[in-house]
Amino acid sequence: MLLVRYIPCLLLKDNGLVKTVNFKNPKYVGDPINTVRIFNEKEVDELIFLDIEATPKNREPNYKLLGEIANECFMPLAYGGGIKTFEQAQKIYNIGIEKVAINSALHSNLNLITQISEVYGSQAVIGVIDVKKNFFGKSQVVSNSANDKHKYTIEEWVKKLEEAGVGEILITSVDNEGTWSGLDIELIKQVTSISKVPVIAHGGAGNVQHLISGIKEGGANAIAMGSMVVYQKKDFGVLINFPDKKLLV
C-alpha cells in the first residue's frame, strides 16, 4: 500500500513565493529559501514548487533559484513551470530535484514524458492536469495558467499521460484553488477511478477534514496544499505552517 502524502505546493513568481485564487491575483507570501527552512524543521515529506510565470512568459526555469532551493531542502522536491525539452528537465535533475511536473508542453509534445521516463524512470515525471468549468458548468482540461483550453476529456487525457509514461498525476481544480472551500471530490474520483498511477489532488483544501476527505472519499494517494500552509487561516496573515501529522490519520 502506498504511503499517504500531504505535500505543500508552493508557487514561484519573481524569485518569491505567491498565492493565487483561481490561478489569479498572486499575492506575495514570502521568500522561498526561508520557507524551505521552515518545512525542513517541520519534517515535511515532500515539496512541490510551481513557477506560475515561466510558461505564460515563455521562459526557461530559473535554474539559479532552483539550485539554491535544492541546496537548502532536506526532503524530495518536485518542480514545474516552463519545461519544454528533455534538456531542460535534465538540468533540473542535475540540480538535485527528483521530479519534474509538466503540463502545457505535453499538449504539443507527449513524447517528452517518454523521453524523460526512459532515462530517469516514470517516478521522476508528474503529469499535471488543470481542470476548469466553462460557462455551461462543464469541466475542461486547461493549461498555460488556465488560458488555453483543450478538446480532450479528462479521462482521455489521463489515459494519454499514462500511456506516455508518467509516474504520477497532479490534478488541480482551478475553480477551487485558493478558496479554502474544500477539494473537488467528484473531480478527484473521476481521475482516481481510472488512473493506474498515484494521484495527487490539489485545489481548495482549507482544513484537515478536507485533506482526509480527499484521501478517503476521493481516493487520492496524496494531497497538495497551498493556502493552508502559507496562511494562518482564510483572510488572515501569512504564517508558514503544516498540519499536525497526528490529525491526518
The count of other CB atoms within 10 Å of the CB of residue 247 is 11
- Catalytic residue, candidates 14, 31, 45, 130: 130
- The residue behind cell 468549468 is 133
Distance linking the first and last C-alpha atoms of the chain: 15
Is residue 45 annotated as part of the catalytic site, yes or no?
no
Amino acid at 81: G
Between the alpha carbon of residue 8 and those of residues 11, 40, 90, 241, the distances in Å are: 10, 12, 24, 9
Residue 136: exposure state from Cβ atoms within 10 A (0-12, 13-18, ≥19): exposed
- The residue assigned the cell 490534478 is 171
Catalytic center residues: 130
